[in-house]
Amino acid sequence: MIFEFQVRTTEREQFVDVTPLVRQALAESGVEGDGVITVFAPHTTAAVTINENTDPAVPRDILTTLDRLAPYRGDYDHAEGNSDAHIKSSLIGASSRVLFNGGQLLLGPWQGIFFAEFDGPRTRQLVVHVGGTR
Amino acid sequence: MIFEFQVRTTEREQFVDVTPLVRQALAESGVEGDGVITVFAPHTTAAVTINENTDPAVPRDILTTLDRLAPYRGDYDHAEGNSDAHIKSSLIGASSRVLFNGGQLLLGPWQGIFFAEFDGPRTRQLVVHVGGTR
Amino acid sequence: MIFEFQVRTTEREQFVDVTPLVRQALAESGVEGDGVITVFAPHTTAAVTINENTDPAVPRDILTTLDRLAPYRGDYDHAEGNSDAHIKSSLIGASSRVLFNGGQLLLGPWQGIFFAEFDGPRTRQLVVHVGGTR
């Protein structure tokens, strides 16, 4: 079952905690038992990742390091000025998976699911698939 | 349902757009409704990623940056001379997922699915699983 | 069907080959036909990746390169002293997928599945979902 959400980003680079949206999709799906949720960003300058959602310094350190690995104003071929965002998208990945059982996400105690914006601010789409299995 | 394809690469490092193969697998599967497709590279010196497939400068910038992060002729322990390719494989990942609904891939307007070759040229395998869910 | 395992790591940074645990989960699931296994680390300072499990120099080169990209004693905001581990977790990813068919993992001849520890030694959890599909 597929759910679509909008995510509004306010910075060029930003982690937005979308765990509540994923919980909402699981609840609305009515899927019982266990399965896998796929959280997908249909964008080439964004990504989805799972990491600590308690201390905001963690996403900040990740973004700072990614900027060091692929600087915004680097020397790139792509003429649109957002090559760094494309590179970060492939380094982090367009989707994350989270398992569930009995209506609960099987996340670790520190884990949250983030939409990773690398070329905002924009209104972005997030596509969530809740897959129940036999 | 599982489909296997061959991908022929012609350079040491190269992105090959395999979106048409994934569309073919979905069509041949006959799966209706929604689900998740897993696109998997059964290789340790290659990967699968989703990014822009319009401007060829985007894959080029990604490959150039990966080479800066893990240089081909770097100082490595692994004696086969392709350590950089193993490292890039783990940075990008051996598989990508794409959602579908009603026979259509739910890719964003700029997204394509790439087989990422890091130690070619070779004839490579690509394994595609089309998973329909209840 | 979901299986939980404990993984005991003995170093701060270490790749542990968990392919035997994934094979065990597939066997115990009794799932016939084909499907996807999701191997998930419920931790924000660890990851799961697929790479060569023959030459131990390959995991070593990956860990050494990750340390160069995100140094242990780097300049970070997060005060717990393990920012590098959080960054590596998002670069590699909290989960990997492997396909199966007829009770066999569809891994390439050189591929193994690794739990990647970035902030050990610890006793870690590994959650494996075996998803059979129609």
Taking only the tens place, the pLDDT of each residue in B46-101 is 999 999 999 999 999 999 999 999 999 999 998 899 999 999 999 999 999 999 99
Neighbours of C123 (CB within 10 A): 9
Chain B residue with Cα closest to C47: B90
Which of B87, B93, B129 is the closest to C99 by Cβ? Answer: B129
The reported pLDDT for the residue numbered A78 is: 87
Verify whether the Cβ–Cβ distance A92 to C95 is below 8 Å: no
Which is nearest to B51 in space by CA: A5, A42, C125?
A42
Which two tokens mark A69?
């690995």
pLDDT at position B78: 87
Q: Inter-chain contact B129–C61, Cβ cutoff 8 Å?
A: no
Residue range A23-36: mean pLDDT, rounded = 95
| Residue A10: pLDDT over 50 | yes
Cα–Cα–Cα angle for B58, A46, C37, rounded to 5 degrees: 100
Q: Which of A93, A84, A104, A99 is nearest to A48 (CA)?
A: A93
Distance from CA of A77 to the nearest CA of C (A): 23
**Residue found under tokens 């963690």:** A58
* B68-to-A125, B34, C73 alpha-carbon distances in Å: 32, 40, 21
Average pLDDT in the B99-126 region? Answer: 97
What are the residue ranges of helices labelled H in chain C? 19-29, 57-69, 83-92
Whether cis (ω within 30° of 0) applies to the bond prior to A121 is yes
CA distance C73 to B117: 33
Which segments in chain C show pLDDT lower than 50? Answer: 134
Chain C environment of B118 (Cβ under 8 Å): none
CB B93 to CB C91 under 8 A? no
Within 8 A of B133 by CB-CB distance, chain C residues are: 133
How much is the ipTM here? 0.96
What pLDDT score was predicted for residue B133? 52
pLDDT of residue C79: 86
* B106:A2 CB<8 A: yes
Q: Closest Cα of chain B to C46: distance in Å?
A: 14
Strand blocks (E) in A11-120:
14-17, 34-40, 46-52, 95-101, 104-105, 111-117
Q: Is B126 in the C-facing interface, judged by CB distances under 8 Å?
A: no
**Cβ contacts of residue C44 below 8 Å, gap of 6+?**
A50, A51, A52, A58, A108, A110, A111, C86, C89
Burial of B80 (0-12, 13-18, 19+ CB in 10 A): middle
pLDDT at B79: 86
Q: Is A102 on the interface with C (CB under 8 A)?
A: no
Where are chain B's structural domains? Answer: 2-132
Per DSSP, the three-state class of C114 is strand
Spatial separation of the C-alpha atoms in residues C113 and C98, rounded to whole Å: 9
pLDDT tens profile A77-134: 988 999 999 999 999 999 999 999 999 999 999 999 999 999 999 999 999 999 975 3
Q: Is the CB of B83 inside 8 Å of chain A's CB atoms?
A: no
Q: Shortest CB distance from C1 goes to which of A34, A50, A110?
A: A34
- B2-132: CATH topology is Jelly Rolls (2.60.120)
